[in-house]
Amino acid sequence: MDLKQCVDLTNKIIQEALETTREELMAPWKLLGGNAPTQILGQALFDSGRFDGIKYESSKRPGYNCFLIFTSLLATTGGSVAISDSSGNQRGKIP
């Protein structure tokens, strides 16, 4: 994975700059109804056209991180993602 402009929401300084917190990012959004703060933030980052992904802490597996990749913006940022399965039979690259 070669993301050129990835927002790291695991970084407390980035959280503060975006006026969010770990607690807000980890909240069970399905219980909130409507658009959750994380959905609004994700949409704003996508709409800016400046980022190719978001790194965030997994709410299901503590200690693990996840990535949301804006595949339609990879060509703009110069980023790319290589994909393969554990058997090595399926391979691909975006874009």
Q: What's the pLDDT score for residue 93? A: 86
72 within domain boundaries: yes
Residues 5-58 pLDDT 10s: 999 999 999 999 999 999 999 988 776 667 888 899 999 999 999 999 999 999
1 within domain boundaries: no
Residues 71-92 pLDDT 10s: 999 888 888 888 888 887 878 8
Q: What's the pLDDT score for residue 1? A: 76
84 within domain boundaries: yes
Residue range(s) defining the domain that contains residue 32: 6-94
**How many domains are there within the chain?**
1
Contact 3, 79 (CB under 8 A): yes
Pairing outcome for strands 53-57 and 65-69: antiparallel
